Copies of this chain bind each other. A is one copy, B any other.
Amino acid sequence: MSSDRRLTAQGVERKQQLLDSAATLFAERGFADTRVIDIVAAAGVAKGLFYWYFENKDAVFAELVTSTRQSHRLAQRDAIDPAADPLTQLRQGCEASVRFMADHAHLYALLQAEGPDQRVSELLREGTQVHATDTAALLERGIAEGLVRDEDPMLLAYGVLGSVTWFCHFHRTGRITQSAEELATFVGRYVVRSVAAEGVDESLLVGTAA
């Protein structure tokens, strides 16, 4: 029922409360095992209010995915030095991803979650695709400048995303014990090595300026 309802200041706040509760619960127990009643209970409001702010359970999930993706992207953009070379930018982006996931672990979990239905799965997939395409563009510039191995940039991008995603996943689930900062550095290095061309200057690989 929400759609483009005009919300008061209080309304905006309340909606955010619900989004937060939902995000936490979805991350903790997954979408299917989170009941609407759990979400409203966590936010301390009545069940009906949920449907004042959201069309249905799927809609909250979708909204979370969208906004998380947006924040993630902004975080990356902020972390990337537009004047730097592609390889450095790649490292910066990946490091930013690791830090973002550390700060918003519960939201980030959603991006990999099994979505509710077809529609939302689509949403997740699209987001990933955008991310991959961005990364591929970066790699392509790297190839042109001789910094990245001359391979299909899209494939390389998938590899990069895969390792970053999994590092984060294992960190979130406690199987990587290093600090987020340490992990970020490691991941930046790992990713750069994965795609760097033969004979690239050592300084780029080590990432001294990171």
Q: Spell out A's residues near B (CB within 8 Å).
A: 30, 32-33, 113-114, 117, 125, 129, 149, 151-152, 154-156, 158-167, 169-170, 173, 175-176, 178, 186-187, 190, 193-195
Contact = CB atoms under 8 A, between A and B. Distances in A.
B155 A30 contact: no
Contact of A162 (B125, B154, B166): B166
Contact of A193 (B152, B164, B167, B193): B193
A159 B163 contact: yes
A164 B162 contact: yes
Contacts of A125: 173
Contacts of A169: 162
Interface of A is mostly: helix
A166 B159 contact: yes
A129 B164 CA distance: 17
Contacts of A161: 166
Max chain B C-beta neighbours (<10 A), residue from A117, A162, A169, A173? A162
Contacts of A162: 162-167, 169
Contacts of A159: 163, 166-167, 187, 190, 194
25 contacts: A30-B114, A32-B32, A33-B117, A125-B173, A151-B186, A151-B190, A154-B176, A155-B167, A155-B186, A156-B190, A158-B163, A158-B166, A158-B167, A158-B176, A159-B163, A159-B167, A159-B194, A160-B163, A162-B162, A162-B164, A162-B165, A162-B169, A163-B194, A193-B193, A193-B195
Contacts of A195: 193
Contact of A158 (B149, B155, B170): B170
A30 B162 CA distance: 21
Contacts of A178: 155
A20 B161 CA distance: 31
